Structures are given as C-alpha cells and as structure tokens.
Chain A
Amino acid sequence: MLLTLAGCGAGTPSGAGDEVIVFAAASLTDAFEELSGAFEASHSGVTVIRNYDSSSSLAIQLIEGASADVYASANWRQMEVAQEEGRIAGEPVSFATNRLVVLVPAANPAGITSLADLALPGLRLVLAAPSVPVRDYTDRMIESLAADPAYGPAYREAIYANLASEEHSVRQVVAKVALGEADAGIVYVSDVTPDVADRVLRIEIPEPYNVLATYPVGVVSNAPNPELAQEFIRFLLSEEGQAVLARWGFGPAPSGG
C-alpha cells in the first residue's frame, strides 16, 4: 500500500497521464502480470502499477484513501463494499469467472482422494479468512454439500473442525499447501499456476456443489487517470484480454454482466 501511495505521489492526475494504478484480487496476480505487459506494449509510454491483495484488503485500502484507477475484485460483495463508500465511479462490469478446487500437497500426507475425505478427523485444512472472496465461495460450496443427504450437516461440522488456519489471501492458502504444511486447502482453479502445479494435486469439486466465482472490475472514483482506467477495462473485456485470462484458467465474462 505504501508503495502504491508513493507511486501515485510521483504521478499527476492530469497531463501526460502515463500511469494507470490497478488494484487486483490476489487470484488475478499471474493473469494481470501478463495483461499489464500486453497493455503497456500496446500503449507506448504507459506504465501499469499493480497492487495485488485479497479483494477485501484492497477495498479497505480504497476506503482509507489509497489512490487507484482500477479495482478488480474476486466477488461482487467486496466491489459493493467499495461502492457503498463512494469509491467506485459508474457501473462495474463482470469480466471473468472462476471455479473452486481442492488442493493437496503432491505428497498428499493425509491421503485425500475425494471431497468426503476433507472430513477425516485430524486433517489440517487451510482456508482463506472470512470476507476474503474465496472463503465466501467456499462457505457456499460447503453449505450446498451439507444440504445434500450424502454429506449432511455433520460433514460441515467436521470440515470446520479441521480448520488449521485462516489465511489473508487465497495465494497464502496456495503457499501453505505447496509448502506441504497444510493437508488441504480450497482455492480457485486458476491458482494452480505452472509455478505450483508440480507441488500440488487437484481434487475436483463436482458441478452440483461447485460455485461460479464472478469477478467485477470498475473505475475508482477520483481516479488519477480515468481515461486510462476505462481503456484498461476495455482491454480486459477485449478478445485479447479474455484470451489471456483464459490461458490462466479463468472463464469468460458472463454474458449480460
């Protein structure tokens, strides 16, 4: 955050306008790194300054006055938090979707092979903290499992009893699993990047229980550079932008979003 503030202190709201400050959900890290590079390549002289954190942290940073042009959240709830405090100008749009997946270390110390195994007693399950979007989606997924007689409410109790840590962002959950410290974690499909793919195993979550995560993006109110912010969002929604997102495991923007 300090870096971001320092970064925008250097630029000016008007004039040359060669900087666009993008606040993006932690899960967007890899995709936005590539997107930023592509955006800079097609807009000569423009620098994209990136700040990745959990969407909820970014929302509080915006509310506390951090200067930014674009806010990309991993769910609508955190976008609404920023909107309610008057930090978003105009209407945000959905630009990507995601799915949940269970992640276990490659060595799979707890021998997890199915969703049911997450209820094994003594398992060390790591989730994101409440209010982090992936946790909201995870809780919804667990609710729908608990509503199914095949799992039932006891399954929900057992899962939460296995909670070993609540991490600050989804990428911290990935790190704890990849390090082998956690027996399992629940993250986004897109989090299984090439960097960690060989250190983890995926346990798929079947369709009826899985949750569609929807990512909105909006221009921050009083953005130093609203034109470039709009331009960046157009780029996200463009064929090229969507192709990059797809390459990093994201689904397309929902139609009509």
Chain B
Amino acid sequence: MNGGTRPVIITLAALGLGLLILPPVALILRAVTGFAHPDGLLGWPLVSALSLSLGTTAFSMGVVVILGLPLAYAFARYEFPLKRLLNLLVELPIVMPPIVAGLALLMAFGRRGLLGPPLETVGITLPFSTAAVIVAQVFVSMPFFVRAAQIRFESIPRELEEAASIDGAGSWRVFWHVTLPLSGTGLLAGLVLSWARALGEFGATILFAGNLQGKTQTMPLLIYGVLERDLNAALWAGLILVGLALGALGAVRWLGRQLGERADLLADL
C-alpha cells in the first residue's frame, strides 16, 4: 500500500464513523434539550409501554430458553433427516424482514390463518393480544439464542460428556453438570442479544398484535405512534431503548471477554 492511500482510508473511515455515530448522538442531544418542555405523553404512556416491553421480553426470554435450549442441543448432538435444511429454516427469522415476519405470523396464527380456527375453538385468539406480542418476539429473537447455544454445544468435546456418562451420570445429569456449565457464558451472551432483538421488535408486532396502550403498545410502537403528537416523548422512549441496547451490547462484549473469544462471538451473531 503506498502513502497516498492512507488519507483516503482515513477520510472514508471518518465518514463511515460519522454516519454511524451521529444519529444516536443527535437523538440524545435532542432528547436532552427537549426535556426542558416535558409534555403530557412523557408520563403514563411511556411508563405503560416500558413496563409492557420489559414484561413481555422477560416472558419471551423464558420461552426462548425453554424451547431454544433443547432445539440447539438437538441440532448440536442428534442426527435426523433434513437436519441441514431445518437448521437453515430455524435461522430464517434473523434475516426475514420484520414486516414479512408479521405477515407470516398472521398467516399462521391469525383468525383465518392455518392454526387460527383450531385455536379459536379452544378459546384462543392471538391477534391484538399481549400473547401475540410475545409470539412475535419469540419468533424473531429465538434464532439468535439457538444459534449461539448450538455453536457453544458443538464446541464442547463429546469425550467430556462421554467420560461423565461412563462415570455413571445419566444424560440429564451430564447436560446439567457438564454441558451447561461449560457453555454458560456463551448461552448468556446469546440470550442478551436475543433479548435486545425482542426489545426492538416492531414490524411483526404492529402487524400481528396491533397497537393498544397497556396491552400491545411496546416501546417501539409507542415511538411510532406518538411521534406526530409528542416528539419529546418519542425521543425519550428512543433514548431509553438506546440505553438498554448499549447495556446489552456492553454485556455481550464483557461476556465475550470472559470467554476469551469476543471477536468470534460477535462475528457469529
């Protein structure tokens, strides 16, 4: 590389840096300066949306762990037909445009969806319910966790598990005492990323769950909804989400350093 390319690299790098850093900085600045004139919406709707967001994402993460852990383990340890194809499909929601995810959820669980009528006969109608918010969050966020968990499980030598079972441990005990502790940090990092994705979920929620304060209006929906009535409230809601996202990112980095493979973790996810 000759000397002339260095200024070019630095200029382009600075432009890229500015593009990535300026918007969040502008958001923070405008939110903070706008705080001098708090409007009515800063109060209850914000509290309601924040508690709904935190509550639903906590519930979703429970579901993600309960369903995602066995799923990741099965992909890492068992052989079954169509495994590669199924593994690909499991990761599809990561790259699926959110609004398409919402449409897909409607086609599956909507009133006229594939499972809508049978669900309705047992008294369950998902659309416009808090449960729909959770289904949307699980759908878009579980793949992040499954992927991280699968990678961790695959990195654990089978000999370790085999040795433990030769020593007389049952398969559940092997998982609980050997596999899980060895992959714990990686699983947690995957869960944090999964949570951040669930917290930011918007497109699938607005289409599948609708928008009602206290019931389905999570933080991203509140921002979209109040933007035209109360920019300050939207900015503050945005600021809170940026803060939480930053916290999640910091946690993943920290967990990665604990693992000694930070770069690897983030590259995977």
Interface residues of A (CB under 8 A from B): 54, 56-57, 59-60, 109, 124, 126, 129-131, 163-168, 176, 179-182
**Can you name 8 A-B pairs with beta carbons within 8 Å?**
A60-B228, A60-B231, A164-B212, A165-B128, A165-B212, A166-B210, A167-B211, A180-B112
C-alpha gap A180/B125 in the complex (Å)? 12
Q: Is the CB of A126 within 8 A of B210?
A: yes
Q: Is the CB of A60 within 8 A of B112?
A: no
Q: Is the CB of A130 within 8 A of B229?
A: yes
Q: A109-B111, A176-B210 are in contact. Are A164 and B128 (CB under 8 A)?
A: yes
Q: Is the CB of A181 within 8 A of B227?
A: no
CB < 8 Å: which of A57, A109, A166 contacts B228?
Answer: A57
Total CB contacts across the A-B interface at under 8 A: 55
Interface residues of B (CB under 8 A from A): 106, 110-112, 125, 127-128, 206, 209-213, 216, 224-225, 227-229, 231
Interface centre among B206, B224, B227, B228 (most CB of A within 10 A): B228
Chain B contact residues: helix, strand, loop or mixed: loop
In the complex, which residue of chain B has the Cβ closest to the Cβ of A129?
B225
Q: Closest Cβ of chain B: how far from A121's Cβ, in Å?
A: 15
Q: Is the CB of B224 within 8 A of A124?
A: no
Q: Is the CB of A166 within 8 A of B212?
A: yes
Q: Closest Cβ of chain B: how far from A57's Cβ, in Å?
A: 6
CB < 8 Å: which of A109, A131, A165, A180 contacts B210?
Answer: A165
Q: Is the CB of A163 within 8 A of B212?
A: yes
Q: Is the CB of B227 within 8 A of A165?
A: no
CB < 8 Å: which of A56, A131, A165 contacts B211?
Answer: A165
Q: Closest Cβ of chain B: how far from A179's Cβ, in Å?
A: 7
Q: Is the CB of A181 within 8 A of B224?
A: no
List B contacts of A59 (CB < 8 A): 228
C-alpha gap A73/B125 in the complex (Å)? 36
Q: Is the CB of B112 within 8 A of A179?
A: yes
C-alpha gap A54/B227 in the complex (Å)? 12
List B contacts of A167 (CB < 8 A): 210-211
C-alpha gap A165/B127 in the complex (Å)? 10
C-alpha gap A124/B27 in the complex (Å)? 36
List A contacts of B228 (CB < 8 A): 54, 56-57, 59-60, 131
List A contacts of B231 (CB < 8 A): 60
Q: Closest Cβ of chain B: how far from A78's Cβ, in Å?
A: 9
List B contacts of A124 (CB < 8 A): 125, 128
C-alpha gap A178/B132 in the complex (Å)? 19
Q: Is the CB of A60 within 8 A of B210?
A: no
List B contacts of A56 (CB < 8 A): 228-229
Q: Closest Cβ of chain A: how far from B88's Cβ, in Å?
A: 29
Q: Is the CB of B127 within 8 A of A129?
A: no
Q: Is the CB of A129 within 8 A of B211?
A: yes
C-alpha gap A109/B216 in the complex (Å)? 22
Q: Closest Cβ of chain A: how far from B176's Cβ, in Å?
A: 43
List A contacts of B211 (CB < 8 A): 129, 165-168
List A contacts of B225 (CB < 8 A): 129, 166, 168
List A contacts of B213 (CB < 8 A): 166
Q: A60-B227, A167-B211, A179-B112 are in contact. List 15 more A-B contacts (CB 8 A).
A: A60-B231, A109-B111, A126-B128, A126-B210, A129-B225, A165-B209, A165-B216, A166-B213, A168-B206, A176-B210, A179-B110, A180-B110, A181-B106, A181-B112, A182-B128
C-alpha gap A126/B211 in the complex (Å)? 9
C-alpha gap A129/B225 in the complex (Å)? 7
Q: Is the CB of A180 within 8 A of B128?
A: no
C-alpha gap A57/B231 in the complex (Å)? 12
In the complex, which residue of chain A has the Cβ closest to the Cβ of B125?
A124
C-alpha gap A182/B106 in the complex (Å)? 12
List A contacts of B210 (CB < 8 A): 126, 164-167, 176
CB < 8 Å: which of B127, B206, B212 contacts A181?
Answer: B127
Q: Closest Cβ of chain A: how far from B215's Cβ, in Å?
A: 8
Q: A129-B225, A168-B224 are in contact. Are A179 and B106 (CB under 8 A)?
A: yes
C-alpha gap A108/B149 in the complex (Å)? 46
Q: Closest Cβ of chain A: how far from B103's Cβ, in Å?
A: 10
Counting from the closest, the 9 A-B pairs by CB-CB distance are A165-B210, A164-B128, A60-B228, A56-B228, A181-B127, A180-B112, A131-B229, A166-B211, A165-B128
List A contacts of B125 (CB < 8 A): 124
In the complex, which residue of chain A has the Cβ closest to the Cβ of B112?
A180
List B contacts of A182 (CB < 8 A): 128
In the complex, which residue of chain B has the Cβ closest to the Cβ of A56?
B228
Q: Is the CB of A181 within 8 A of B229?
A: no
C-alpha gap A168/B202 in the complex (Å)? 13
Q: Closest Cβ of chain B: how far from A103's Cβ, in Å?
A: 16
In the complex, which residue of chain B has the Cβ closest to the Cβ of A132?
B228
Interface centre among B110, B111, B209, B213 (most CB of A within 10 A): B111
C-alpha gap A147/B237 in the complex (Å)? 37
